[in-house]
Structure 1
Amino acid sequence: MTAQFFAPVASPQTPRTAFADRHIGPSGDERSRMLAAIGYSGAEALIDAAVPEAIRTHRPLALPPALSEPAALARLRELAEKNTVLTSMIGLGYHGTHTPGVILRNVLENPGWYTAYTPYQPEISQGRLEALLNFQTVIGDLTGLPVANASMLDEGTAAAEAMALSHRVGKRKEPGAFLVDADALPQTIEVIRTRAVPLGIEVVTADLSAGLPEGDFFGVLVQYPGASGAVRDLTPLVDAAHARGMQAVVAADLLALTLLRPPGESGADIVVGSAQRFGVPFGFGGPHAGYMAVREGIQRQMPGRLVGVSVDVDGRPAYRLALQTREQHIRREKATSNICTAQVLLAVMASMYAVYHGPEGLAAIAQHAHGQAVHLAAGLREGGVEVVHEHFFDTVLARVPGRAAEVVATARALGVNLRLADADHVGIACDETTTGEHVAAVWRAFGVEGVAEVPAGDALDSLRRESPYLTHPVFHAHRSETAMLRYLRRLQDKDIALDRSMIPLGSCTMKLNATTEMEPITWPEFANIHPFAPVEQAAGYVELIGELEGWLAEITGYARVSVQPNAGSQGELAGLLAIRGYHASRGEEHRNVCLIPSSAHGTNAASAVMAGMKVVVVKCDDGGNIDVDDLHAKIAKHGDALAAIMVTYPSTHGVFEESITEVCKSVHDAGGQVYVDGANLNALVGLARPGEFGSDVSHLNLHKTFCIPHGGGGPGVGPVGVREHLAPFLPSHPLRAEAGPQDTGVGPISAAPWGSAGILPISWTYIAMMGADGLRSATEGAIIAANYLAAKLSPHFPILYTGRDGLVAHECIADLRKITKETGVTAEDVAKRLIDYGFHAPTLSFPVAGTLMIEPTESEDLAELDRFVDAMVEIRREIEAVADGTLDAEDNPLRNAPHTADSLLTEDWKHAYTRETAAYPLPSLREGKYWPPVRRIDQAYGDRNLICSCPPPEAFED
C-alpha cells in the first residue's frame, strides 16, 4: 500500500501539553542531570559519542507535524467513519460476538492486564498464569484432548504448526506430503502452503468427504465444521488415517465443540483453531488467540507456551511456564518453531468469557447460533432454495445456480454481508449476535418472502456431544458481574505490570502504552469489521494502514512495508522468505546459508530453518561485537551458497557495533542479503535508518518500539520492511489482492490479510502524536536512560559490554558471574530479591548466562530510575554482607527471596535476618508495598510432574 500523508488538523501545543513530553518520562531538568551523571553536557554530544557516524542518517524524518491527543483522536474518528459496519455473516473462521462489558473494561481496557510482560518471572505473574491455565482448561475440555497450550497466533499459523508437529511425531527424515481437507478455511490452506514450501513438504488438498485419497502422507488436516458449514463424523476418517500411519489434525470451531462430539473422542492427535468468538471482536482480522491441543505423548514437542502447575519452596501450588518455554533460545537452529510472543491478552479475554458464561452459558450461545442457522435453512427450503448440507452447526451453504453474486449484492444492500462461495453458492454464518431480523433480511436477499414460522429443529443428530466440560469450580463461581469483577481484580493484584512499576527488561522495550493510543481499538468502526468484508467497507482501515506503512518505511529507510506478520517471529520469517524468493527469481535457489551471530535472539536461527536455510554461526569477540575475521572466514567458506546474514542492531549485547557497515558490504559483495533484526529499533528511530546503512530487510516490533502493549506476552505485530528489489516478495493473501503482491508474493504469513489490524491504530496514534522531533527525542531519551543506569550501577556491578567511550545503546548488561563465584549469590537470586523491592527483574541470563540485561526505556522518569538504582545498590550491600559473613551464605534474604506476607507472619521465624529486612529493605517500600502471592517456584518439579489444566480445589488446601 502507498503512503497517504494527511493534512494535520491545526492543534496548538505548549511544552506542557505536547504528547512527546507526556510520553518521555524525564523533564528537561532531569535529563540534564542524567547527562551530567554520564559525563556529557547535552544530548547531542552523547549521541555523537554513542552512535557511529557511519550509520547516522542525514535526512530528517519526513513525517506530518505532531498532533495533540485531541487532534489525533479527531483524525482517527475521521478514518473510523470511513469504515462501514454491516452485519457480517461471512464466517470463514471469524464470527460476531458480544464482549461482556466487565471483561472489556477490566481486561482489554485495563493497564493492569495489557501492560504486563510475558510471565518469565512466575512469582509476580500468578494472576495472568491462572487466567492462561483457565484458557488451557477450556481448550482441553472442549477438544477432548489432555494437553493444550496458551496460545497460538491465529488459526492459520496454528494449523501450519500442526503440520510441522505431525512431521516431527512421524519421525520421517524426508519432507513427505501433508493432506488437507478441501473444505478447510481457504486462508488456512494457503498459510500451510506458505510454510510448507521452504521445508520441501508437498501439500495436497482433496475432498475428504469421500475418504482418504491414495498417497503416502504423514498427516491430514480436516476442518470441523467445514468452511462450507458441513459437519461429518470424524471417526472413520481418523481411523483410516491412523491405519496408514498418519497424524490426524482437526481444525475445530471452539463454540461448536460445546454441542458437537469433541475431536479427541474421535481419536484426533492434534486439534487447532481460534478462540476469537469467545468475546473477541473481528478487529479486521485480529488479534485473536489461536489454540492447539494434543494427545498424550507428544506434549513435549508442542510449539508455543504451556502453563503448568508446580510448587513453591513451601510446597504450595504455583503456576509457571513449562517444558519448551522459549525453546528457540535453548535449541536455536534445532528449534521446531519460531513462535516467541503469543496472544496472551486475547487468550485471557477468551478464558474469562468462558469463566463468566460457564458451560451452560456457552451451550446456550452455541444453541442460539445453531438454532438461527436451522431456522434460516428451513426458511430457504420453504422458499425453494436448495440447502446443500443436511448436517451443519452455524453455517448454511445455499445453492442458487448463476445468481450467487446477485444474492450477495442484495444482502449487502439490506445491511448484511454474506460469503460468495462461487457463482452458484452462497455461505451464510450465524453467530451469537444473529437476530430474527438478520435471518429475515437474508431470506429477502434470496427472494424468499412471507416465510411462515418454521420450527428450529436440529441439524446435528447423532453428532451431538454427550460428554461434560468445564466442570471445574472456576467455571461456576463467577456468574454475577460483582463476582467476576472481584475475580479479575484479585488476579490482577497478584501481578506486577507497568502500571505498578518500571519493567526494566532488556531488549523488550516495556515503554508507555498511552491511553489515547489504546482508546480507538474498541471503537465499533474498528472493532466490528470482518477481515473479508468488501474492501470498500474498510476504507478507513485501508487508509490508516497505508499511512502507517508509509511512515514505517520513512522511519526505517525501506521502500515498502507489510503489516501482515502478526508477531516479530512471523516478521522474521516473512523477511527471510522474501530473500529466498529474490534469490530464486535470479536463478540462485542454491543460496541457502544464513549467517547468524552467536549473540542473536533465538528466534533468528529458528526462523532461518523454517525458511529452508542452513544456519552458520558467526563468533562474537570479547566486546560482544561480531568477530569480523570469523565473518570473513565464513563468507569465504560459504560464499557461493550465502543467502543472508541476520544481525540485530544495536546488538543483542546493547552496543552500537562500529563494524556494521563493513558487515553489510562484505555480505553484499558475496551475493548475500542483509537482514537487520528490528527488535532494538528503539535506539535508532530518527538517528539512523537500516535501509540506508546497508540492510535489505527488517522486521519491526510494533509491540516494542511503537507502543503496542505486551499484554502479558501478546498481542504483537511484526511488520516487515524491504528495499525495492525485495518488494515483489512481500506477503500476499488469497482473499485480498490489496494485501500484497499477488503474482510474486510469498503467500500469506498470517490468516488475516493485514494481520492484527485491530491494534494498528495504537502505533498510528503514537507516531502521529510524536511527530519527527518527538520520535527522535524518544530515541535520545532511551539512550540517555540506559547510559545513566550504566553509570550509576557500574561502581556496584560490572557492565559487561560497552562501545566507544564506554557507552551503551538502549540497554546495559550487569555481569554477576564473578560475584556468584565469590559469594554464591546468583543472578537469579538478585532477580527474585528485586521482587521484594517491588520490581520486575531485568532479562535474566540472556544473552549471557549469569547476567541481567537492563533496559529502562525513555518513558521512566528520574525518580523511578533512581528507585531502581537504590534497589540494586541495596542488593549489592546485601551481597557484601553475604561475602563478609554478616549474612549466612545459604540463609539470607537473597536466597530466600521473594518473601510473601504469609512467610513473614509465621510465629516460627528462624532466619538470621529480620522480618523488616525481608519485607522493607528500603524505607520507601512502606508506601505501596507489592506482596508476591507465592515464594520461589520449583521449576524442575513442574516439568517432572506436568499439570497443565486447572487442578482440583483440594490441591490448594493447606
Structure 2
Amino acid sequence: MKTNAFALRHIGPRPSDMQHMLNTIGVKDIEQLLFETFPDKIRLEKDLELDPAMTEYDYMSHIVALGAKNKVFKSMIGLGYNEAIVPAAIQRNIFENPGWYTAYTPYQAEIAQGRLEALLNFQTTVIELSGMEIANASLLDESTAAAEAMALLFDVRTRDQKKNNANKFFVSEEILPQTLSVLQTRSTPIGIELVVGNHEQFDFSEDFFGAILQYPGKYGQVYDYSDFINTAKTKDIKVAVAADILSLVRLKSPGEMGADVVVGTTQRFGIPLGYGGPHAGFFTTKEEYKRSMPGRIIGVSQDANGNRALRMALQTREQHIKREKATSNICTAQVLLAVMAGMYAVYHGPQGLRFIATDVHSKAVTIENELTKLGFEQLNDAYFDTILIKADAAKVKEIAERNQVNFYYPDNNTVSISVNETISLKDVNTVISIFAEVTGKPFEAVTELSQEALIPVKLERTSPFLQHEVFNTYHSESQLMRYIKKLERKDLALNHSMISLGSCTMKLNAAAEMLPLSLPSWNNIHPFAPASQTEGYLTMLKKLEAQLNVITGFAGTTLQPNSGAQGEYAGLMVIRAYHESRGEGHRNIALIPASAHGTNPASAAMAGMKVVVTKTTEEGNIDVEDLRAKALLHKDNLSCVMITYPSTHGVYESSIIEITSLIHENGGQVYMDGANMNAQVGLTNPAKIGADVCHLNLHKTFAIPHGGGGPGVGPICVAKHLVEFLPTNPVVKVGGENAITAISAAPYGSALVCLISYGYISMLGAEGLKKSTQTAILNANYMKARLEQHFTILYTGECGRAAHEMIVDCRMFKQNGIEVTDIAKRLMDYGFHAPTVSFPVAGTLMIEPTESEDVAEIDRFCDALISIRKEIESVTAEDTNNVLKNAPHTLAMLTAENWEQPYSRQQAAYPLEYIAENKFWPSVRRVDDAFGDRNLVCSCAPIEAYMES
C-alpha cells in the first residue's frame, strides 16, 4: 500500500472495509455494484488523461514553486480592489480553521448560532456604514451586487403606476468598468435599456425607473449626490449607490443622501486580494423592499423557551422557491468572507476603523502634495484614497514596475494612484521617488504625513456607527480569540461529524489543498495586475481549465462564475449567444423537469427564457414522452433543456441519451446541471451523455469548502461550438472570440480558491478521481442497505441501486404526529447535521455520505437514524410532549433543576452510547421562524436595548 498516496487520505473506507460493505449491499465486487447502478452505454471507454497523482509533499513543493512565478508588487491599482491587512488572529482562527470553513449553510439554525451571530455583525456593519435599514448576509462581489440592485429596482417599479412601463436604467460613467460589463450582461435579457452618461448632465425623463452611481468615482473623485437623488425622487426614479466600504467611515453615507439601495464589496475589511476573490459583496436597502431582496437575510427570533435565537429570515422569499417568478437566482452568500469582514469591524471597532480610514486619506493627501511640488497636476478636487495625476503613463509605468509598484493607467496621460491600509511611509516615499525620477528632479523624502483633509465639510461623516457593545469589546487578541472560539463552539462543522446533505456533497476539504491559500504569493495579487506578474496564477488556472475539460469531455472552460447559480446563468447566456449568432435569437423556450432545483427556472427567467415545465414519472425520472411532446410543440423556439444527472432523486436515468438526442433533433441545446457531478467523474461525463454545456460546483465535487454558506465557484465547461462565447472582462481580456460580457467582477472569478480544486485533482489523479466516484456510490449503497430495513427509500435505479445519494421517505410518520423537521432536529441530539430536508420531495430526507466518510462514521449516522425510527414508533399523534417534538435538547434544559418531561434526561441527551465521548450541544432550542418573520430584526440591537434589559 502506498501510504503517501493522497487518495488514501481523502477516501474514507479502508481497503479492509470494502468486502464487509459489498457483502452488506449484496454484491461480490465494486464492478457488479457499478453494473447494477450505472447504464453501461454511458461508461467511459478509457481512464481520464490526467497527469500522475502527486503526493501531498510533492504538491506543496510544486505549488510553492509555481507561486514564486507570481510577482507580488505593491498594489495601488484600486478599481474596487485594495490590498488589506488580514489580522493574524482572524486568519488563524477563522480563515485557516475547519470549524469555520467546513460548516454548511445555516439552514439548521440551532446548530449554526455562531456563524449566524457573526453574519449579524456583518449585516450591522454594512447597514450602519451605508446608512440604510436592512442588509442581506452578503452577495458574490460588488459588480453582481450592483446587478441585483438594478433587478430589485426594476421589480419594485411596478408598485408605482407611473413607472410600470419604464425600462431605462441610468449608469454613471463613474461606475467601475467591470460593474458596467456585468450590468450589460444582466440587463438585456430582462428588457432593461442601459443609458451610460454623466450624472451631472442627466435628463430625468419619464422613461427611467432607476439609476446607479459610484461613490467615490472609479478614479477617486468624491461627489455629493444629494441633489441628484433628490431630483430623481421627484421624478419617481430610484437610486442605487455602489460605495467603497472604508470610505464610508469618513464620508457622509449614501443613506443620508437618500439612496434606495447601497452595494459594494467588503474586501478591504481584512480579506486577501486573491487575484479577484472570493470577497463578500454587500447589499443594503430600505425595509420596504425586503421581499424583493436577493440572497439571505439573517434575523433575530426566539427559541421554544423564548430566548434570543438567530436564523435565516424570510426564507419563503428565497429565489429558488420563487422559481421562474424570481428576480434573482442567488441562493447563496460569501459567508466565510462576510464572517471575516464582520470580525474585522469587531476587532477594530469604530475608533480603529476611523484611524485606518484617516491614515489612508492622509497618505493620499501627502502624495498629492509632494507630486504637486514636483510640478504634476492632480485632477480630483475631492477624494478619499485615490488621486488622479496628469503624467506620461508609459514613463511612469516603466519606473513604477522597476520599483515593484502597480498604478492604474486610464489613458496615455493619466495615472490613478489608490492608497490602502498597507501603504507605509516608506511606500509613500517610493511613490514620490518614482515621479521625481520621471521629472529628473531630486527626491526629498517626507518624514510625516499631512493632516490636511481633502473631503468637503458637507461630505464629512458626522453620524455615529458601530455603537453596539460587540464592536467595542474585543480589541485585544485574547478577547477576539475567545469570542471567535465562543461562536465556533455553537456551530457543527465537518471537524465534528459527517454532514450528509444530498445534492450538496460535503466531502473532505483536505489541509494540503487549503494551506496554499495563506501564501502571500497567491493571496496578495490584484486581479488587474499585469500578466507579466501573474505567471503562476495563469499557469494554474489554465491547467485547472484543462483538467476540467478532460473530466467533462468538453473543449473549453471559464472559471469566472463565482457560484453555482452564476454558472447556471452563464451557461444559459452562452446558449443564448449561440442561437443569436445563427440568426435564431427567437429560440427562448427552456424545458425544465418538475424535479429540477429551483435555481434552474430562476436562472432561465434571468436569461430571458420562457420556462416550460416537463413531467416526471412516478419513479421520479424525466417523463420522456411528455418531454418529446413539448420539444415537438416548441421546436421552432426551443432554446434548451436543463437536466441534472444523475437525477435529483439520486438515479442514473437510462434514457439520458434518448433525451439529449431528442433536444438536438428539435434545434435545442442541452444544459447539464453539475450538482451531482460527484457521481460522474472518471465513470462518465457530460459530453458522453450528449450535453453541450454544464456548470460545475467546485464547492461540491471538487472540494472547495462551503464556508458556512460560501464561497462557491461555478465554472462552466462547454462543447467546441460554444467556446467562442465564453465570457470576457473589460480590464483583462479573457473568454472566447465572440465573448459575452462579464458574468462576475473578476476575470477568473474567485481565483484564490481555485487552488483548492487544482490541488484536489492534481493529488488524486485519474485513478484517485475514479476511485472517489466509485466510493461515493459504494458508501451511498452501503448506507441504503442498512437503512432500507427501517425506512422506505423513495427512488432507486432499475436494479434497485442508488447513485451517490438517496431519498428517505418520512411522510408516513405523520400518523405518529412526527414531521420530517422533527427528525432533523432530533439528529442534533445525536451529534449530526440533518440531511437535505424536503427537497426534492416534501417530507423526505435526501442523504449523501460522499467518498470521504469512513464506515465507522456512516454506521454511527445509520445507528442514529435507526434509533430515531424506534423513537417514532413509541409516540402517537396525540402525544405532543415527546423526545422528538422537544428536540433539540440544550445543556441548559438538561441541567435545569426541574425535569418534567415524560422521558429521561439520559434519553434526551445520550440516546446511544457513542454520543457521550463526543457530545455536541445545540446552543438554543427549536427556533421560532414565524415569530422572527413577524418581527424582522436583521442587525445587532442598539446598546440602549441592553441597558433597558
TM-score (norm 1): 0.96
> Could you say which residue in structure 1 is the equivalent of 2:885?
895
**Partner-residue secondary structure (3-state), 1:682:** helix
Instruction: Report whether the alignment pairs 1:879 with 2:872.
Output: yes
Partners of 2:257 and 2:93 in 1: CA distance: 38
Cα shift at 1:210: 4.0
- In structure 1, the residue matched to 2:144 is 157
Equivalence for 2:63: 76
Matched, 1:868 2:861: yes
Residue number in structure 2 paired with 1:704? 700
Match for residue 836 of structure 2? 843
Query: What secondary structure is seen at the aligned counterpart in 2 of 1:808?
Result: coil
In structure 2, relative to structure 1, the CA distance for the partners of 1:955 and 1:43 (3 Å cut) is: farther
- 1:405 Cα deviation after fit: 2.2
Secondary structure at 1:495 match in 2: coil
Whether contact under 8 Å (1:368, 1:431) holds in the other structure is no
In the alignment, what sits opposite 2:207?
Answer: 216
* One-letter code aligned to 1:123: E
Matched, 1:771 2:765: yes
| Alignment pair present for 1:461 and 2:470 | no
- Counterpart amino acid of residue 411 in structure 1: A
Deviations 1:185-237 (A, max 9, x none): 11111111111121121111111144556562111110000111000112111
Match of 1:116 in 2: 103
Task: Give the AA of the match of 2:694.
Answer: S
Per-residue CA distance 1:7-43 (angstroms, 9 max, x = gap): xxxxxxx522211011000001212211111111111
SS of equivalent residue, structure 2 residue 794: coil
Letter in 2 for 1:475: F
Structure 1 residues not aligned, in runs of 5+? 1-13
CA distance in 2 between counterparts of 1:408 and 1:281 reads 24
Q: Name the CA distance, whole Å, in 2 between partners of 1:227 and 1:793.
A: 58
Seen in structure 2, the aligned counterparts of structure 1 residues 785 and 174 have a Cα distance that, compared at 3 Å, is: farther
Gaps of 5+ in 2: none
Is this contact kept in 2: 1:398–1:427, CA < 8 A? yes
Aligned residue for 2:740, secondary structure, equals: coil
Aligned twin of 2:471 = 475
Q: SS at the partner of 1:356?
A: helix
Decide whether the 8 Å contact of 1:159 with 1:188 is kept in 2.
yes
Provide, for residues 459-501 of structure 1, a one-character-per-residue CA deviation record: whole Å limited to 9, x for no partner.
Answer: 1021110000000000011011001000000000001000000
The answer to whether residue 202 in structure 2 is matched with residue 186 in structure 1 is no
1:60 alignment partner in structure 2: 47
Partner of 2:241, secondary structure, is: strand
Secondary structure at the counterpart of residue 293 of structure 1 = strand
Match 2:928 to one of 931, 938, 955? 938
Q: Matched residue of 2:792: which SS?
A: coil
- Residue identity over aligned pairs, in percent, reads 53
1:563 to 555, 559, 562: 559
1:683-710 deviation digits (Å, cap 9, x = unpaired): 0000001112200000000000000000
Which position in structure 2 is the counterpart of 1:350? 341
Query: Does residue 1:232 correspond to 2:232, yes or no?
Result: no
**Partner letter of residue 654 of structure 1?**
G
TM-superposed CA distance for 1:438, in Å, is 1.9
| 3-state SS in 1 of match to 2:793 | coil
State the shift of 1:955 in Å. 6.3
1: CA distance, partners of 2:329 / 2:402: 44
**Cα distance, 1:865 vs structure 2:** 0.2
1:577-596 pair list within 5 angstroms? 577-596=573-592
Q: Deviations over 1:488-521 (max 9, x none)?
A: 0000000100000000110000000000000001
Residue 410 of structure 1 pairs with residue 392 of structure 2: no
State whether structure 2 residue 301 is matched by structure 1 residue 310: yes
Evaluate the alpha carbon distance shift between residue 357 and residue 892 of structure 1 in structure 2; reply closer, same or farther with a 3 A threshold. Answer: same
Q: Is the 8 A contact 1:300 1:324 kept in 2?
A: no
* Cα distance per residue 1:920-951 (max 9 Å; x no partner): 11111111111110000001111110000012
Q: Identify the residue that residue 490 of structure 2 maps to in structure 1.
A: 494
SS in 1 for 2:642: strand
What amino acid sits opposite 1:875 in the alignment? I
Q: Aligned residue for 2:283?
A: 292
Q: What is the CA distance between 1:596 and its match in structure 2? A: 0.5
Equivalent position of 2:822 in the other structure: 829
Structure 1 CA distance, aligned partners of 2:184 and 2:326? Answer: 20
Q: Distance in 2 between matches of 1:187 and 1:275?
A: 16
User: Does residue 850 of structure 2 align to residue 857 of structure 1?
Assistant: yes
Partner of 1:333: 324
Residue type of the alignment partner of 1:142: L
Indicate if the aligned counterparts of 1:206 and 1:213 stay in contact, CA closer than 8 A: no
Q: Partner of 2:412 in structure 1?
A: 423
Does the CA-based 8 Å contact 2:157-2:164 persist in structure 1?
Answer: no
Given candidates 917, 921, 932, the residue that maps to 1:927 is 917
Matches within 5 A, 1:535-574: 535-574=531-570
Task: Write the letter of the residue equivalent to 1:780.
Answer: Q
The alpha-carbon deviation at position 390 of structure 1 amounts to: 1.1
Aligned to 2:12: 25
Does residue 818 of structure 1 match 2:812?
Answer: yes
Deviation at residue 426 of structure 1 after TM alignment: 0.8
Deviation at 1:336, TM superposition (A): 1.4
Mapped pair 1:792 → 2:781:
no
* 1:390 maps to which of 364, 373, 381: 381
Q: Give the distance between the partners of 1:418 and 1:510, measured in 2 at CA.
A: 41
Match of 1:11 in 2: none
Q: Secondary structure at the match of 1:218?
A: strand
TM-score w.r.t. length of structure 2: 0.97
Partner of 1:434: 423
Query: What CA distance in whole angstroms lies between the structure 2 residues aligned with 1:338 and 1:957?
Result: 41
Cα pair distance change 1:780/1:955, threshold 3 Å = farther
CA distance in 2, matches of 1:215, 1:897: 56
* CA contact 1:178–1:217 (8 Å) conserved in 2: yes
The residue identity in structure 2 corresponding to 1:76 is I
Q: What's the C-alpha RMSD, in Å, of the aligned pairs?
A: 1.4
Equivalent position amino acid for 2:116 in 1: L
* One-letter amino acid of the structure 2 residue matched with residue 37 of structure 1: T
Give yes or no for contact 2:300–2:938 (8 Å, CA) kept in 1. Answer: yes
Structure 1 position 37 matched with structure 2 position 24:
yes
> What's the CA shift string for 1:537-556, capped at 9, x where partnerless?
00000000010000000001
The alpha-carbon distance between structure 1 residues 216 and 492, as it changes in their structure 2 partners (threshold 3 A), is same
State the 1:389 CA deviation: 1.1
Match of 1:805 among 795, 799, 807: 799
Report the equivalent of 1:532: 528
Aligned equivalents of 2:428, 2:724: Cα separation in 1: 43
Tell me what 1:197 maps to: 188
Contact 1:372 1:456 in 2 (8 A): no
Larger deviation, residues 947-956 vs 762-771: 947-956
